[in-house]
Structure 1
């Protein structure tokens, strides 16, 4: 089994949530206690130490039990979290955070938590809870090595222990998070380089906002409003029967211009955005409404359930049948 295959698991068992003693991190405690072989999560769950002081954790999972997972987080660190879908209920010390992308429009949520001293981290789970997220940990030491003169002003972020700051995920940040959750199936060296570059760029997206740095403009205001209106049209389902040319005419431009501007704003094509939205609606139908796989395939626009299952697994890392099992 390759390193890439080993880090993508359909079933995560309780024993796999405990890091080895050689990892140099605090033990993980799970309450109530479960046998090591007990299936605990279903989906994708991967954590990596990229460099000293730079860590990333990616998850697209559904919980199979009501439980809490806790460990000690080191001090002098920033914790960036970007929730793409689902809900998260966690605590850092006395600060409890509840984040949800709720509703049919699935608006991502993002937060930064600063620790100036060690704090207990607690993740609360309940059966059927889904979360799709990327978390990045940056140590003060790592930031100091990147910016030895301290010109960026990051030191102020550590002034208040357990300070919580919201930041707004840009379309680029969302695209980077998606790439981290579903990395390219490259050889290990290329995959690690790809992953580290995305983590650093995503951290820069967050720090740019947290430090009040104005990003360079990518679209004119009217172009930004245009693609935002198109996104709302796609989210509403009203464009499901429309061609790209029809959508472009609706937006008052041509297809190539709209496609280019949409990709700049959201990091994906209109077709891929539509496909992901349909698959999300199909997943909701399977997990929340008890629909059959054939019905879900129709919702996603597939006449062939096998093709639907392939696209579903590529998007979410689990099969439609597995979504039904944990609903």
Structure 2
């Protein structure tokens, strides 16, 4: 593999591989237990890649690749370039394993399963646009979390917030209140809000809203539930409000998604 700046978004499954002398094992889980992972890395020269034998479970991975000269190609002046991103790209096998939020996961799923109404000539443009959205998130992550944060989140805090996230995912069907979440997870409201955003780049209820929409999308595709049922899964009492939020999140209305995933109709 030649020099490049690359990000893998593992939506489901696991993979082990070597890049030159560096070993990677990424496990995003499966089914209801999946926890998407992301790997961003720089290859500064020709690199050997060796894939280890995979498992029998499906692997769903999205790859966003750009040349190391992408800032030149986009005519970004030297003064406008993030020094942290530039430093990251200047080192061979610089890498970061990180957990994408619902925003990045949603974009990756749009790339993996684009709207069926897209014509062949528009599909590359659509995927490139979604890929640029992820590139923005990657550069923001590199800038704000990897290098410049003078107070990195302690491992104990991150572990605690991971437990909070698990708590939320287990109770997405409930009427969640910030006071109850703080009390049940052993923290104060103010501390919970600050630490959760520090760890995941979004508020508690941004995470809850996006996670509910993801579950509603999965219910539409896999279980063929009605639009009203999907709205309930997402926590909306109004199907119209749900459709608006769904389109803002995934780029298409739920009725269109449901019609393209009806029995007998298969994705291309």
Q: Structure 1-normalised TM-score?
A: 0.49
Q: Shift in Å at residue 241 of structure 1?
A: 2.6
Change (3 A) 1:168 1:198: closer
Q: Identify if the C-alpha distance between structure 1 residues 178 and 244 changes in structure 2 by more than 3 Å, giving closer, same or farther.
A: same
Aligned residue in 2 for 1:82: 9
Quick one: distance in 2 between partners of 1:180 and 1:238? Answer: 21
Q: Which residue of 2 aligns with 1:14?
A: none
2:224 — aligned with what? 290
Distance in 1 of aligned mates of 2:40 and 2:166: 24
Partner of 1:249: 183
CA contact (8 A) 2:6 2:41 kept: yes
- For the structure 1 residues 216 and 102, does the alpha-carbon distance in structure 2 shift closer, same or farther, using more than 3 Å as the test? farther
Confirm whether residue 107 of structure 1 aligns to residue 36 of structure 2: yes
Q: Secondary structure at the match of 1:277?
A: helix
Residue 272 of structure 1 aligns with which residue? 206
More strand by share: 1
In the alignment, does 2:245 pair up with 1:317? no
Deviation per CA, 1:191-229, whole angstroms, max 9, x where unpaired?
Answer: xxx9786553345689x6xxxx89754333332222111
Q: 1:201 aligns with which of 140, 150, 154?
A: 140
Q: Which stretches in structure 1 are left out of the alignment for 5+ residues?
A: 1-72, 90-97, 119-128, 159-164, 183-193
What is aligned with 1:157?
Answer: 92
Change (3 A) 1:102 1:317: farther
* Deviations 1:65-99, CA, capped at 9 Å, x for gaps: xxxxxxxx9x432322335x46899xxxxxxxx99
Alignment check: 8 A CA contact 1:278 1:300 kept: yes
SS in 1 for 2:97: coil
What is the CA–CA distance in structure 2 between the aligned matches of 1:224 and 1:203, rounded to whole Å? 17
Instruction: Say which SS state the counterpart of residue 168 (structure 1) adopts.
Output: strand
Residues 216 and 230 in structure 2, CA contact (< 8 A), matched pair in contact too: yes
Structure 2 unaligned spans of 5+? 16-25, 48-57, 73-77, 111-131, 262-268
SS in 2 for 1:139: coil
TM-score scaled by length of structure 2:
0.59
Q: Report the counterpart of residue 116 of structure 2 in structure 1.
A: none
The number of equivalent residue pairs is 210
In the TM superposition, residue 140 of structure 1 has moved relative to its aligned partner by 6.2
TM superposition shift of 1:247: 0.6
